[in-house]
Structure 1
Amino acid sequence: MRILAIADPHLSRKTPKPMTIFGPGWAGHPDVFFQRWCETVQPDDLVLIPGDISWAMHFRDALLDLQDIADLPGIKVISRGNHDYWWPAITRLRAELPAGIYALQNDAIRFDDTVICGTRGWVTPGTEGFKPEDEKIYLREVERLRLTLEAARKLEGKQVLVMLHYPLTNAAFEPNGFTRLIEEYRPAGVVYGHLHGVNQDKLIRHWCGIPLHFVAADALKFVPRVLGKTEASADSAL
């Protein structure tokens, strides 16, 4: 089973939103997103989607976008992004998700010998404009990362992949609660998105030897990135 990742689909079937207002890199969206997914992903592949899945404000509307994703090839694991306002209580979400999509929240899921875990993340201390209300959310997300990493450890896989929506650090790459947990639990890799229109050459690709995979859809030109394979299929290439 191959493992791929792509963040920030930003779908909006209920009320179409032209993404080109965010830059020319979004030209052809969402058709190009679906086309390149189908050109890249096989039915038995595992695709990680770390957040900003739908612009919908209500779960019923987001289900239209989730169904579109479900209809694509592959098995999907989703986690929440900062724009996923539609995300309901996890019990309801899992009860109504289309077949073939799995949602993470404070827990983990195992495929073969690979465990997937994750949380949204947040801006970290030292970020420009960091406010007291950000501190509260940041600390809550640090605790959620700890919970999901601990859940992953209990599943006893050979490798763990972490899904974050936000990058692991601020622009100065300063240590924080997220990085300390990554150092402690030593996952095989971290995937994240959220950033758009950035110079990828200025992003760090490792933290203490742990690969950081930037997989925002527009940065990938909408081609899901192949990370490796589950351990049951072949040696990891993460």
Structure 2
Amino acid sequence: MSSTANGIERHLATGETYQTALDGLHEAVFVKDLAHRWVACNDAFCNLFGATREKIIGYSDPDFFPPAEAQEFWRGDDIIFETRQPFVQDEQMTLSSGQTVHISTRKYPRFDPAGNLIGLVGIIIDYTEIHKRREQADQLLLALEERQHTIEQQRQLIEQVSVPVIQVWEHILLLPLIGTVDDNRAVRVIESSLEAIARTGAEVLVDRYHGRADGGHGGCGPPGPDDPGGAVAGVP
């Protein structure tokens, strides 16, 4: 049991006036009996609920929360009652204002001086802001991944457009190229040409090239005397 829970239990067990001690804690603290009713709580718990202590003591979760949430809170209580061991429960809590908060509730069994189980002590940590920041970080990461995917798609499209192979007649393909043909683009030219030939069954590939080839002249074959910017290649 934590030091906070030990201190709460000590005040409860000795019959001391413990309300001041409970109210001095920043965490929302509550005490339940075996019937799931609240028998004590501090100011932080009242502030979280948006209700006075008089409207909380003697009542239980179904009086404040939707059925599904109340059932989940009771499930955590029952684990404590059955195992008599501390239990941590991460939950969503809908407040009276309609706001949903994310909480972590640490529950500890409560015993009387004879060692009989008489209820539990709960300490609530509100981590709503942390949860929001985590969601924002996840959304940002997702947006970055989508942007990267879009960039990759655009890159692939540019590569495809940069090496167009057009079927201009039956068994005749035209390969119009503009710009610089470096080693990487030359490889794509060959790959695109072979794919188009295999797909169409072309027998002739006409190269129309306007630009500069790094380390060589333009075209897929030697330029002809009447057409310095292009070549006609037979496909075996």
TM-score, L = length of structure 2: 0.25
**Greater relative CO (CA pairs within 8 A, separation 6+):** 1
- Between structure 1 and structure 2, the one with the greater Rg is 2
The structure carrying a bigger helix percent of its residues is 2
What TM-score, normalized to structure 1? Answer: 0.25
